[in-house]
Amino acid sequence: MPVQGRGGGSFREAGLKGRPLHILALLKLAALALLVPVCVSSCGIDTVILLYPPQDFSVPSKGFLDLSHQVENYDPLEGTSQSFKGYEIYYRAFDDADEASDEAALMVSKADEYSERPLAFWSYATDDRSFARMRLNNSGDIPLMKLDSTAAASEKSFYISMKSDSNWKLSDDGSLDLEVFRSIAEPSRLSFYKRTNFLTGDADYAGENNPSNLYFVFIAFAYGVDASTTGQAVYSIPFVIAEGVDFSPGL
């Protein structure tokens, strides 16, 4: 059965539930043009740029993650210099299904709590709950799923194959084919697929050494850069897969 997430869908629909509106869209309204900077500086909004979460983020079948681009992240007013850069995926691994389920439920709840403060949610997930970036071979290569200004203007999907016998692969509906890895300090244990790579005390893992099964909690964010600052990172509200995702690692 496909595993559904929480936090996707239309951002406009989310806005009806008290989530923030896209400030750049408001700039198109001349009557509010002079009011937006005031609100940004005094209303507790994280930044003047607010991005949309992915259109969808789910597990269509065991061993696969699918992420669908939210085209509304493309702003025609920005032309070829888009603030939006792509998507990031964060994860935390467990050896216990109930712990993973509880963690997923907590993150769904916190996503609602921080619905108007996406950067605060990102800080909570990474600092307080030890969620880590899914990364490419070069850990400084950000974001994980890149879209240039041309690609961002059209529908696009990304896929992650959670292989049990080789490194996980990131692909798209084009020619993308890249390996993805854990974010831990020990370079010899970056692969997701080996159970011997998961040890008690790892920053991104809660459980015993060499687990026979793993359960992942995944969170996706849209990622951008605020050019009006010194390149401050900007995150959308999260899209949390609402259940732990089962994975059987190889030896």
Per-residue model confidence as pLDDT tens digits over 8-52:
433 323 332 333 334 333 333 333 333 333 333 334 444 468 899
Q: What is the pLDDT of residue 60?
A: 96
Which residue in the block uniquely carries the two structure tokens 């951002």?
11
The SS3 assignment for 211 reads coil
Q: What is the pLDDT of residue 34?
A: 35
pLDDT tens-digit profile of 49-66?
A: 889 999 999 999 999 999
166 pLDDT band, cuts 50/70/90, is very high
Q: Which residues pair with residue 219 across a beta bridge? A: 90, 240
Instruction: Kindly list the domain boundaries of the chain, sorted by start residue.
Output: 5-247
Cis peptide before 143 (omega within 30 of 0): yes
pLDDT tens-digit profile of 66-96?
A: 999 999 999 999 999 999 999 999 999 999 9
Q: What is the mean pLDDT of residues 228-243?
A: 93
- Phi, psi dihedral angles at 118 (to 5 degrees): -60, -35
Contacts (Cβ under 8 Å, ≥6 apart) of 23:
36, 40, 45, 48, 49, 50
Q: What is the mean pLDDT of residues 237-250?
A: 97
pTM above 0.85, yes or no: no
Q: What is the mean pLDDT of residues 211-218?
A: 98
5 pLDDT band, cuts 50/70/90, is low
Residue (of 141, 189, 164) closest to 63 by Cα position: 164
Q: What is the pLDDT of residue 22?
A: 42
Q: What is the pLDDT of residue 6?
A: 58
Q: What is the pLDDT of residue 244?
A: 97
Q: What share of the chain in percent tops pLDDT 70?
A: 81
Strands 245-247 and 214-226, by their bridges, are antiparallel
138 pLDDT band, cuts 50/70/90, is confident
